[in-house]
């Protein structure tokens, strides 16, 4: 069984550009999460999908961030326009049930220069 996959693994973009991150969850997992770790700090919640619906997007930092999960399968996280403080590692995770562990992807390291 394939795990959670994220693409790209690394991205370097200039301030003001647009970047789209993709996450493919484990098949059959309705719950999909996006997290971010900035500058070696704690891993912070961004948002949670249940199937194609946004269950909780309280962690999204501002309206430059847009997440979608069309059809309830893979998800994309778009940053437009990117700012320097958006640099960090973006993790995606999925889980089947709410009282179980989540499985994480390897992360996308985003560097905005």
Partner 1 sequence: AQSVAQPEDQVNVAEGNPLTVKCTYSVSGNPYLFWYVQYPNRGLQFLLKYITGDNLVKGSYGFEAEFNKSQTSFHLKKPSALVSDSALYFCAVRDSNFNKFYFGSGTKLNVKP
Long-range contacts of the stretch 41-44 (C-beta < 8 A, 24+): 43/91
- Select 32 or 82, whichever has its Cβ closest to partner 1: 32
**90 near partner 1 (CB under 8 A):** no
In the region spanning residues 29 to 68, those forming contacts with partner 1, defined by CB under 8 A, are 31, 33, 35, 40-45, 48, 55-56, 59
Confirm if 79 and 87 have CB atoms less than 8 A apart. Answer: no
Contact stretch for partner 1 (CB under 8 A) within 14-22, 66-74, 79-87, 103-111: 103-111
Helix (H, G, I), strand (E, B), or coil: what is residue 74? coil
**4 near partner 1 (CB under 8 A):** yes
In angstroms, give the least distance from the CB of 52 to partner 1: 16
CA angle 71/77/79 to nearest 5° reads: 145
């Amino acid at each position: 069984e394939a795990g959670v996959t994220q693409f790209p693994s690394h991205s370097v973009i200039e301030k003001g550009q647009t970047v789209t991150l993709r996450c493919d969850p484990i098949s059959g997992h309705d719950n999909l999460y996006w997290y971010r770790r900035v500058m070696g700090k704690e891993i912070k919640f961004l948002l949670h999908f249940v199937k194609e619906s946004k269950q909780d997007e309280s962690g999204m930092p501002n309206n430059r961030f847009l997440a979608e999960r069309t059809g309830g399968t893979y998800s994309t996280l778009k940053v437009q326009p990117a700012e320097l403080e958006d640099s960090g590692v973006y993790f995606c995770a999925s889980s089947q049930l709410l009282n179980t562990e989540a499985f994480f992807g390897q992360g996308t390291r985003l560097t905005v220069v």
